[in-house]
Structure 1
Amino acid sequence: MKWYVTLLAGSGLLLSGCLMSREARVESDYSYAGQFRRYRTYEFISGDGINSDTSRLGKAVRDAIRSRLKIQGYRSAAIRRRPDLLVNFRLFEGDMRFRGYAQDDFSKWVKTGYSEDEETPNQDRKGYQPVRLILAEGTLLVTLIDNKTNRAVWNGYASGVSVPPGPQGEIVLRRSVRSIFDQYHVFTEGYLSGQNTANETDE
């Protein structure tokens, strides 16, 4: 099942969605097909604007993402090596309308070790329950894409992100990245026990 729009994590937000729709929030969502325990390496998708290497704001976001992924055991893909994950991010200005989906807590889902694929029977699929959201006054969206299937497996977003000019804007974005990845409670397999000593080197 292909999907790109943000999925809403946490069914509790459904009850308070109307009241909180204009307030800042940090949330995440995920694909039931994600192989989260198998991912170890990553690389960024290049692009224009904030995604560009020449953008100071883009560099601030990239550096913040690199630092956080390194802490969790992920490594930048070595030259000529295919990364497990592709990382994309985008900063939206103003209010946004998103179609999200109510889901179980991400950490609990990862602990189950369960993952859907094309062979999963329909009666065993979780399914996505849609809900409409309004994200207020600026949203930073980070998407992790499974490079093998070319499908997004995790989205994290912070709304209410107002980026002032100059160095202060970089500080705001770095803090937003940290808040977003607080939602991604996944360490690479064996990393905490010291077993994940991959041969890849950080670039």
Structure 2
Amino acid sequence: MTIKHLFLALGTTLLLAGCNETKQAVTVGADQRGATTTAPPGYAGTDNEPDFSAYKSYSWASQVRDEQNNAYFLNDLLFKTMLRDAVANEMASRGYQYMPSSGDLVVNFRVFEQPAEIKTMDNMGTGYWGSSESYAYDTNRFGEVKLDKGSIIVQLIDRKKGVEVWQGYASGLTDGNVFDKNKDKVYSAVGAIFDKYQYRGDKL
């Protein structure tokens, strides 16, 4: 091997190593109410679990419906629409009927470009929940969630009881140091989140 070829090979190796360092694996997690004794009374099933068989329909939270609010989607309305379509696709594939209002479940979601720790609903951001959405103040929600940069989090709320019953999240959706908005990757990440959700809105 000539000196020229040696330097070329070394340069290629370093370039590949640099690319590998910028790529980050997407990690997925989910939490379901019922694992602790702090769940509100009246829930069906064991360990105070909510009765997921009672949920047949869903509606969007107010900030998701607001076509002018892109604050939680990197100030990009097209990206917000893409993400909403991805979540809607997953809900429909599980037999849930969309209702503009009064759905059994209220669905809310957002992205985080930078690392974040979610301890209370306040950490989701002012305006993430509307003033009439009382579940924003659910004190019996899940424990702390640590999200890496490039994260999507989805939350499902029992409308009647006003409490969060499930949340799923994916982290590491990045292209270098910025959020990766590639449609295929976003749909794949949302699909991976809902792979953690083991329920349906129909009898299939």
> What's the TM-score bracket when you normalise by the shorter of the two chains?
0.5 to 0.7
Which structure dedicates a bigger proportion of its chain to helix?
A: 2
For the structure 1 residues 161 and 42, does the alpha-carbon distance in structure 2 shift closer, same or farther, using more than 3 Å as the test?
same
Cα distance in 2, alignment partners of residues 23 and 167 from structure 1: 12
Relative to the length of structure 1, the TM-score reads 0.58
Cα distance in 1, alignment partners of residues 26 and 77 from structure 2: 25
> Post-superposition shift, 1:151?
1.0
Relative to the length of structure 2, the TM-score reads 0.58
Cα distance in 1, alignment partners of residues 180 and 25 from structure 2: 25
Q: 2:153 is matched with which residue? A: 141
Structure 1 gap ranges (5+): 1-21, 101-126, 193-203
After the TM superposition, which residues 111-150 of structure 1 pair with which residues of structure 2 at under 5 Å, given as runs? 134-150=146-162
Structure 2 gap ranges (5+): 1-23, 35-42, 44-49, 64-68, 121-139
Q: Indicate if the aligned counterparts of 1:30 and 1:153 stay in contact, CA closer than 8 A.
A: yes
Cα distance in 2, alignment partners of residues 26 and 167 from structure 1: 16
For the structure 1 residues 178 and 50, does the alpha-carbon distance in structure 2 shift closer, same or farther, using more than 3 Å as the test?
farther
RMSD (CA atoms): 3.3
Q: 2:198 is matched with which residue? A: 185
Offset from partner CA, 1:65-117 (integer Å, 9 cap, x none): 1111111111101x5x62100000010121123459xxxxxxxxxxxxxxxxx
For the structure 1 residues 163 and 170, does the alpha-carbon distance in structure 2 shift closer, same or farther, using more than 3 Å as the test?
farther
> Post-superposition shift, 1:139?
1.3
After the TM superposition, which residues 37-76 of structure 1 pair with which residues of structure 2 at under 5 Å, given as runs? 37-47=53-63, 48-49=69-70, 55-76=77-98
Cα distance in 2, alignment partners of residues 133 and 41 from structure 1: 27
Match of 2:107 among 62, 82, 87: 87
1:96 alignment partner AA: A
For the structure 1 residues 170 and 140, does the alpha-carbon distance in structure 2 shift closer, same or farther, using more than 3 Å as the test?
same
For the structure 1 residues 29 and 168, does the alpha-carbon distance in structure 2 shift closer, same or farther, using more than 3 Å as the test?
closer
| Pairs aligned (count) | 140
Residue 175, structure 1, aligned to residue 188, structure 2: yes
Higher relative contact order (CA 8 A, sep 6+): 1
2:166 alignment partner AA: W
Offset from partner CA, 1:27-80 (integer Å, 9 cap, x none): 10011242211100001113221668x811111111111111111111101x5x
Larger Rg: 2
